[in-house]
Structure 1
Amino acid sequence: MTGTVIFDPLIPLIAVYGLAGLVVLAVTLALWRRLPGWWLRALAGIALLAAMANPSLQREDRAPLSDIIMVVVDESASQRIAGRPDQNAQALANITAELDRQPNTEMRLVTLGDAKGDQGTALMTALSQALAEEPQGRIAGIVVISDGRVHDMDNAPALPAPLHLILTGAPDDWDRRLVISNAPAFAILGETFTLTLRIEDQGAAPATQTVDLSVSIDGAPPLTLPVPVGRDIELPVQLSHAGMNVLQFTIPEAEGELTDRNNTAVIQINGVRDRLRVLLVSGEPHPGERTWRNLLKSDSAVDLVHFTILRPPEKQDGVPVTELSLIAFPTRELFLEKIDDFDLIIFDRYRRRGILPNAYLDNIRNYVDQGGAVLISSGPEYGAAESIYRSPLGAVLPGAPTARVFEEGFVPQITDLGARHPVTAGLDDLSPPAAEGDGPGWGRWFRLVDVVVPQEASVVMSGLDDRPLLVLNRVGAGRVALMASDHSWLWDRGYEGGGPQLELLRRLAHWMMREPELEEEALFVEPAGQQMRIIRRTLSETTGDVTITHPDGTETTLPLTETSPGRFETLWDAPEIGLYRLDDGDQQAVIALGTAAPREFEQTIATGDMLAPLIDAQRGGIMPVSAGAVDIRAVRAGRPATGRGWIGITPRGAFQTADIKITPLVPAWLFLLLAAMLSVAAWLREGRR
């Protein structure tokens, strides 16, 4: 119970001010007239004002409130290395026991885990949220148990009480980490680029000259080489394939270092071709020739070399060669000397006329065996005696002509295998369904060359009476394709509604140039934060489970569900960021979520330097766990809150008011009676005079 004198006016406050003004005016007038009772008049006015102000005694019934101590325990990834979990538990037990001995004190425990993504330790954010939930007038102290590695100091709140840091770690801690700098997002295939890496020792590290660095690309067996410690090393790298390349750099864990989570660095570099070099050989002018040229010239990344045989040897029109305005084509240079420079060779309605000798065609066959790609767009000549199939190149072509050519209308169809193959999968979704019958609403073609397809080839599109229309095959290290019709240009012209001719030819060309997104057997991952969509593309009707190897070596096995023909998927939430390896028995993949060495492990040596400005502003202290237990004492606000082996809290004396009673000190009528008596006394004194 407490008492305070207050004023509880009987009339509005503005009226009290007005009355005070009249009293001052009356007393001033009395002084001006030199009335001997002016002072009695003044006392009467004061008594009158006191009656109107009504001085009262306010009594409050207060219930004292306990002081709140915020205790924030950092359990982020960097606090789970070495012996820090035990230090956390030891420090928390010490603080809890000390606060139990403090009177009228309660503890609020805040546990801090890893921030979402790779944001590091968001200690200030957690502290701000915790303080916002408590009355600021009851906060008597803040104790943080952490290694001091905070990554959101910009979010530091205004502190109402001293801040103390109980610092984990040990004075002789040391760690080694691998740092990769200037890694490009993409690189040109076949060209060498340079990565800069550095091996850094932190803390009380032993003297070391060199360590072994292992370099692995896409999970392949690593290459090991010695590198110096503490120096920037420039490492030349050349990508081996298009698409995403995952490069992993690892140094061995040294005895005594805090963690090996920062001994690995993973970078993902997209391999791109500088220019796609395509050689297009047209055997004769025809309506579909422009289709191939327009497709290839529409892509600025394609270097196209195109020649058309306009004047075959058997054509004798009497025009002297010296007067022709045509340029002699460098066939020897293209088909013997520089053939390996091309990514794709297209023969468009080509027939043997002696322009390309068998030695050149045999060289093209070798080009396919060694990894090249050849596409045949055939017309009636493919089934004739001059067919390119009846040359050394025929040994690698995926269809043997029967000499039959059908000249009647048909709608191209995607085969069951084609529905699973990435070249043709989903093409029917790009056009409306047919008005009658099954299949897509595509326009008809009017020519089909009959071919016999070897067993190992893949027929992905069919024509008249289910005869092969588009055949794909792998030969040696290369790829070949046969389009058994030259009427794809009808789709380009929109005949009978046309069809997805541009998309079909684009996919076909990219599959032949081994673009990763069109591989028929592939396992890959589409990451979104820490969630990954695992996709298995296959020509088979079933696929096995995928085994995922975590960054720490543990494994998870997941089944896949078929979402469309030839495509199996599943969604999985990864428990942590880092490098994951996937294997289904046939295909392997490597994916890095975030970074292999998260932000938590960039700096692992415990320090109070980052929190020191906040701690000093409130006159708090930094106490290492390794120095032993600490005492907690109560100190007055503004005094030093730390000393040797102790930290201080500032009791706030907060309370809750349960009841308020207001009692007048003197009744108003008594003030009015006193004012009347003083007024009469003034009148009598002045009357005697």
Structure 2
Amino acid sequence: MIDSLDTGLTLHGTWWWLLFWPPVLWFVRHTYQQTRPPISTAALLWLQLLRSLVFSMLLALLIAPILSYVLKQAEYPLVVTLIDNSQSMTIREAGTSRRQAVADSMSGGLGLALQRSVVGIFSDHPVRSTWSNVLGTPTSGQATNIGSALEQAPRWGTERQRLHAAVIISDGRYNLGDHPVAAAQELGVPIYALGVGSAIPPDDVQLVSVEPPGPMLSGHPAVLRIFLRQWGFTGRRAQIDVSLQDSVVASEVRRFADPGVLEQVDIPLPPMPAGLQSLSIRVASMEGEITHQNNVATTLVQVRPHRLNVLAVTGGASPDFAFLHRTLAADSSLTIQFFTHERGWIDNVDLSDLDVLILHDLSRQQFGAETARRVEQFVQTGGGLLFIAGDRQANSGGVVSSGLPLLVPTRPLKSASGPPVIGQHGQHPAIRHTDDTGSDWSRLPPLLGMASALERPAEGPVLLSVDSTPVAMAVTHGQGRLITTVGSGFWRLDLLASGVGETPQTIRRFWRQSVQWLGLPEATRKVRSTPEQAVVKHGQAAQLQIEVFDELMQPFSNADFNFTLNGEIHRPTIQRLGAGRYLASWPNLVPGSYSYELSATSQDVVLGDDRGEFSVAVQTLEMSDQRLDEEMLQQIAQATGGAYRSLARWPELAEKLSPPPSLDRETKHAAIEVAQSWWLFLIIGGLSIEWILRKRWGLL
């Protein structure tokens, strides 16, 4: 707070009375110079002063001046400085860490420019600090959440201070939380970003991701696909080892190609025993690497004792069914039969021998009451159903009513306005692709047909949609599972996308993974859980999808939970998704393998329990990419009307980083006001004194 004092004089009467003051003073002087009898000079001076004072006070009453003073209080605007304190700030460039570069700048003029701002540090969450401690706090966190830091900034001021601007000092790499640009726009004030580090990556080898094979068969080999990226080691060779239970089961030597290019490496795996197997992949460390943390990854592989037995029935020949036929026939983990619908086919098939049944575009006549009853019984007792509705079914008015929770088109399909987009359940196994949540779908062409009117009798995770209209939905029904889809032209998505990266595999992968998910063995359990990701990078939250059912196998939405991780009580945060579905999250788990057990209860009554496994990889999010992300910092600044500079060029923003004080409060006070009645008493007193002196000195 800065205080300043100003004074002022205002006239409330008629200002031109001031013009009479000089002649009045001249008249008083002239009159007393003619006084008879003569008196002493001192006495004459006193009388002149008294008469002049009286006349001046009379004129002042006519003018009514007010002498006042104004107290002004100014305050420095609230500026919040956010300093990146994540692990990536320990990266050394040109012999100096990024954190040390910030400290060196602070010890110079930057520290003086920001000394009046409120300071905080952030990694995976923000913490308010002080300038005396901020640079002495050790780096922390396994991820960087810029959005959370920006959301917290306005809460660090006082009640009387409104946030004026924010300063962020960071390398710009965010890997946790909401998009920083959206959080910056919500802040509503300019953000001035200072970039730390270099956009040229340091020497490093990164194991970017691992794509495990689909379900393996016991006694059969498979291929593990990994993706590498390197800088500074072009032309060098590195050995890649795959280990199972601390024993190396496969190795591959790779010669690195161009820097920064994502390289695919396929590693043959030997036959492995049935069950869930944990594989560790390690790329040999290279001399001069900036870090070895991102050279290791872990993945889980499901090894099945036998192939899935699948039957696919179509209502008639079509390009969509031909595409489905080619896609599933190429999957060696399936034993699959295809045939076109014939009257009475359901009586000639033993559904109990099947793992998955596919019904492709059956008309209302082809999917009769008896067929619906037999199929529902198949699902209720643990079978998997892939139900695909197309033009034939829509044109026939849908299907007969059944207890199956199907997406049924009741009118002919209409042209889709855009490509399918991932629904609310983007991590569902049917559409999940390694670490990717399905962004390839947005690059596909539109479907030829989508539902114009839809019967949707049950709630469940929407996998794909177009303009909020479901295209695919996954539902648990009884002891079994089903995926129900509506649309036509899936073959076209694959054909027209053939020139866009890897996207031709997107729709094929959807059909294959849908069948694999439907064929997973599911016992009669009222509590079922599935890890969102079998392998979680250090710094990410480990999340678990949970479904709870009552005694009638109906979704139960008011369950409480007890959890253990590796035998110890470790309660996660629980989010209720509705329709008996829940999301459990454990943030900041240390790297390692985890086995969990959970039990669902209601009013102390145990509804059921489940167990499973997941892993937290040693590789952290922070070490996935160590480059300065200037583009991100520029977007944050531009979206808010701020500016971006590298840390070395901070003086160009000096005036913005340390804004001048602004007027906060102004109070006006009246000091002397010539308008009150007591001024009349002064005039009368002055005239009385003059009269007494005149009488004393013998004047008339």
State the TM-score bracket (shorter-chain normalisation).
0.3 to 0.5
TM-score (norm 2): 0.38
TM-score if structure 1 supplies the norm length?
0.39
In our comparison, the structure showing a higher alpha carbon Rg is 1
**Larger RCO, structures 1/2 (Cα 8 Å, 6+ apart):** 1
